[in-house]
Structure 1
Amino acid sequence: MLRESMELVSVIIPIYNAEKYLPACINSVLAQSYQKIEVILVDDGSTDSSSTICDEYAKRDARVKVVHQTNGGIACAQNTGLDAAQGEYIAFADNDDILDSRNVELLMQALVRTGADMSKARWRQFGPSLMDQVKREAGLGANNPRSVTVFSNPLAAYQNIFCKSLRMLEDLAGRYGEARYLNEANWCRLYRARLWTNIRFPEGKYAQDTAVAGRLYSRMSRVADINVNLYNWLQRSDSVTHRQQKPGFYHDHVQAALDNMAICYKRGVTPARSYYTLIGNLRYERTTSEIYPDPEAKKRLAEDEYRAIKVLQDLSLTQHLYCRTLSDIRTLEKVIYDKLIKNMV
């Protein structure tokens, strides 16, 4: 059990119609070995029994706080959680995922001992049929990590270390590629609460995590990575990211990528990941604008294409070739990844 710090950790869980998996998620949070937590359940206008489930947990455990609100989307729910948080540290969890019982303990330990701004750990994906097995294993608690890697300039890491195959090659070369990998997800991390000052998720939009990633990583000097699995990510075929989307979905991702590229230019960072996000989602926005004809969608597409041309002109030839190469590698990896995810049951 960690003894270096017993500061309060606020765990924020946005909830919408999650009655099937919600109890397992909340149970995994309340079972944390690090007990000084407040669990903020933000019921975002659920129409199933999720609201009742939240209230029942609040009656049983004083650490649980419930906020009921009309449906405003996940960004709105996350912002409500941030506004309600009292902890010196912030963590997030999705309402259908399972936390290892030592998640907060080990993330806190890494954060305190290294003085980093954020700590993160590894995660695994699983299908619904493995839920019982995952719950048992998570309840046992992870072993102490084999290593803790601290790295600087997380914005550069986020932008340039995102291809799985290249991370594996870096690991073989002893350059800790996997440890330096950062994505847009905010779960399986522990943040110092001050990082979120004046940062909130854009409400009413998709890509809310991508939209704040650049600003968050720009505020961080160092990140600590724990080489152990502490989070279990449920893969469901009905999730937002696994469904065919309309043009607005891709438009929001294009806007987030463009905004992140602007941050990178100011910081002198080559925006390889945002280039990949921009090119891919712009292509999907064009395709879906033909499938779902809408004058407003056509107008947004024209504006996105114009802005993209202007932003891409700021890349040097070397940067453009570098970004294009990583984008092609990641596109191929995604084809394989999507097939694996679709086979999870």
Structure 2
Amino acid sequence: MEKVSVIIPIYNKEKYLTKCIDSVLEQTYSNLEIILVDDGSTDRTAELCERYYEKYDNIRVLHKKKGGIGSSRNAGLAMATGDYILFVDSDDWLDKKHIELLYNHLKKNNADIAIGSFNQFNDESKIFEIMIRDEDYFEKVYSPQEWFAYEYVSIPYQFDITFTVPWGKLYKRSLFRDMVYPEDPNVVEDDLTTWKIYLLADKIVYINKPIYVYRTFNKNSITAQASRLSTVPLEGIEERISLLNQIGFDVSRQKKAYSWRLHVYLENALKDGNYSKYRDAKQKLAILKKYNAD
């Protein structure tokens, strides 16, 4: 049985960490290396990590100076010895068959990445937000070009979130040979990285089954996700459009999403009185209109 390295970046998550780690330990796929990366936590996270380390032989722990989630992912990748990589956010948890299902579908289809979907759990209301029902199940194999067509499809299965986040995916470790996450705490590391990993794959298999539970912390979590996307720095999508266009991908949806973000940036810049940001967004919108992309 091949080894899967499960990387859990952690910062001040003592309240949620036990449920997260236990859900990994309870997986039906047993050959796991669990890497806990404590990013300079100031609560009881370090103590909890050490307790698990002392109790379980397959758990490894790194305590590091705070550097952000990108640096924690990179540190975990540097420690990983498995054949495959799987990320879990430290306030989320996994279905018991999460890894087994992803592994089996990856092997069955000779794919490089296996992706599953998720449901949300609102921590404030203690209510599950069900995205996918049993009758919605399907599985499909995509080329990277085909998978990119779903990047901005949010309804009905929240593909836009699934596309961007690093979790909910089993990756061949070899895909990370020359890939690192940005460590600047002011950037959104997944928006700048996940899509590049897709381009290194030959096949991507997706199963429309909620095998991950994503914990949210506000009343309108889906709306909040859209708001988060609208405020992600523009450099990521600009880089994506440029590169995808060069390699012959259809970037029409990418340009529409870019236009939408620019309009949101304009609104936010006016509200904030940031006229430099406003002028920059206005200029970029004018360029889009010139090329009939707006």
TM over 0.5: yes
In structure 2, the partner of 1:137 is: none
Name the structure 2 match of 1:337: none
In structure 2, what is the equivalent of residue 206 of structure 1?
187
Decide which of 197, 205, 220 is 1:224's aligned counterpart: 205
Using the aligned pairs only, state the percent identity.
Answer: 28
- Kindly indicate whether residue 158 of structure 2 is the aligned counterpart of residue 163 of structure 1: no
Q: Deviations over 1:208-267 (max 9, x none)?
A: 11111332121122111223221111111299x949x99xx93x5211110111121012
Q: Deviations over 1:47-71 (max 9, x none)?
A: 1111111111111111111111111
Give the root-mean-square deviation of aligned CA atoms. Answer: 3.5
1:242–1:72: structure 2 CA closer, same or farther, 3 Å change rule? Answer: farther
The amino acid across from 2:215 in the alignment is L
| 2:78 aligned to which of 61, 83, 87 | 83
Distance 2:49 2:176 in 1: 25
- Provide, for residues 246-297 of structure 1, a one-character-per-residue CA deviation record: whole Å limited to 9, x for no partner: 9xx93x5211110111121012222355335433433343444445557xx9
8 Å Cα contact 2:266/2:282 also seen in 1: no
SS in 2 for 1:209: coil
Report if the CA contact (8 A) 1:206-1:253 is conserved. yes
TM-score normalised to structure 2 length: 0.83
Question: Under a length normalisation based on structure 1, what TM-score does the superposition of the two structures give?
Answer: 0.71
- Residue 333 of structure 1 corresponds to none
What amino acid does structure 1 have at the position aligned with 2:51? E
Which residue, out of 140, 164, 167, partners 1:149?
A: 140
Residue identity opposite 1:187 in structure 2: W
**Aligned ranges 1:271-286 → 2 under 5 Å:** 271-286=251-266
Aligned to 2:167: 187
- Aligned equivalents of 2:246, 2:160: Cα separation in 1: 22
Kept after mapping to 2: 8 A contact 1:16/1:50: yes
Give SS of 2:190's match.
helix
CA distance in 2, matches of 1:133, 1:256: 31
2:270 & 2:159 partners in 1: Cα distance? 41
Structure 2: state its 5+ residue gaps: none
Conserved? CA contact 1:149–1:179, under 8 Å: no
Change (3 A) 1:304 1:39: farther
Give, in whole Å, the separation in 2 of the partners of 1:129 and 1:47: 23
Cα separation, 1, equivalents of 2:268 and 2:194: 26
Q: How far apart, CA to CA, are the structure 2 residues paired with 1:290 and 1:129? A: 32
**Deviation at 1:45?**
1.1
Note if contact 2:121-2:127 (Cα within 8 Å) is conserved in structure 1: no
- The secondary structure found in structure 2 opposite 1:227 is strand
Letter aligned with residue 261 of structure 1: I
Q: Go from structure 1 to structure 2 and tell me whether the alpha carbon gap of 1:76 and 1:148 turns closer, same or farther (over 3 Å shift).
A: same
Equivalent residue of 1:62, what SS? coil
Distance, in Å, in 1 between the alignment partners of 2:238 and 2:128 is 41
Matches of 1:223 and 1:90, distance apart in 2: 15
Give SS of 2:103's match.
helix
Q: Is contact 1:150-1:225 (8 Å) kept?
A: yes
**How many aligned residue pairs are there?**
285
- Provide the rounded CA distance (Å) in 1 between the counterparts of 2:178 and 2:286: 30
Structure 1 residue 202: Cα displacement: 1.3
Give the drift of 1:185: 0.9
**C-alpha distance 180-112 of structure 1, shift in aligned 2 (>3 A):** farther
Partner of 1:214, secondary structure, is helix
